[in-house]
Amino acid sequence: MSNSQFFSNCTADSIREAAAALKAGHLVAFPTETVYGLGADARNPEAVKRIYEVKRRPTDHPLIVHISSINELEKWAIQIPGYAISLARAFWPGPMTLILKRKEIVRDFITGGQDTVGLRVPSDPIALALIQEFEKISDSAIAAPSANRFGQVSPTSSADVYEELGAFLANSDVIIDGGSSSIGIESTIIDCTTNLPKILRLGFITKDQIESISGVLCDCDSHSSAIKVSGSFEKHYAPNCEVIIGAQNVHGAGFLALKDIKTPEEMFRLGSPSSVEEFARVLYSSLRAADHKKLKSLVVVPPEGQGLSLAIMERLIKASQGR
Contacting positions for ligand TXA (CB under 6 A): 32, 34-35, 37, 61-64, 97, 99, 111, 114, 116-118, 120, 122, 144-146, 186-187, 189, 227-231
182 binds, among ligand TXA, Mg ion, none (CB under 5 to 8 A by kind): none
**Nearer Cβ to ligand TXA (227/301):** 227
Spell 275-311 as b/e; 16+ CB within 10 A means b: ebebbbbbbbbbbbbbbeeebebbbbbbbeeebbbbb
First to last CA, the chain: 28
**Nearer Cβ to ligand TXA (78/258):** 78
What are the counts of helices (DSSP H) followed by strands (DSSP E) for the chain? Answer: 10, 16
Q: Per rule CB under 5 A, is residue 32 in the interface with Mg ion?
A: no
Shortest Å distance, C-beta 251 to ligand TXA:
35
93 binds, among ligand TXA, Mg ion, none (CB under 5 to 8 A by kind): none
- The set of residues, in sequence order, having a beta carbon less than 8 Å from that of 278 and lying 6+ positions away, is none
Shortest Å distance, C-beta 57 to ligand TXA:
8
In this structure, is the dihedral angle defined by the CA atoms of residues 102, 104, 106 and 108, taken in order, positive or negative? positive
**Nearer Cβ to ligand TXA (97/297):** 97
Q: Per rule CB under 5 A, is residue 146 in the interface with Mg ion?
A: yes
Shortest Å distance, C-beta 36 to ligand TXA:
7
**Nearer Cβ to ligand TXA (188/214):** 188
Shortest Å distance, C-beta 12 to ligand TXA:
22
155 binds, among ligand TXA, Mg ion, none (CB under 5 to 8 A by kind): none
Dihedral over alpha carbons 25, 31, 35, 38 (to 10 degrees): 10
Q: Which stretch binds Mg ion (CB under 5 A): 77-85, 92-100, 124-132, 139-147?
A: 139-147
Shortest Å distance, C-beta 107 to ligand TXA:
12
CA distance 182 to 156: 8
**Dihedrals φ, ψ of 37, to 5°?**
-110, 155
**Nearer Cβ to Mg ion (123/146):** 146
CA distance 307 to 300: 18
Shortest Å distance, C-beta 297 to ligand TXA:
25
Q: Which stretch binds Mg ion (CB under 5 A): 83-91, 96-104, 140-148, 194-202?
A: 140-148
CA distance 99 to 222: 14
**Nearer Cβ to ligand TXA (54/257):** 54
**Nearer Cβ to Mg ion (133/191):** 191
CA distance 162 to 134: 23
Stretch (H or E) spanning 127:
helix 125-138
**Nearer Cβ to ligand TXA (1/226):** 226
184 binds, among ligand TXA, Mg ion, none (CB under 5 to 8 A by kind): none
Shortest Å distance, C-beta 278 to Mg ion:
22
In three-state secondary structure terms, 65 is: strand
Binding residues with Mg ion: total (CB under 5 A): 1
Alpha-carbon Rg of the chain, whole angstroms?
A: 19
Shortest Å distance, C-beta 192 to ligand TXA:
10
DSSP code string of 207-251 = HHHHHHHHSS--EE-TTT-SS--GGGSSS-S--SSEEEESS---T
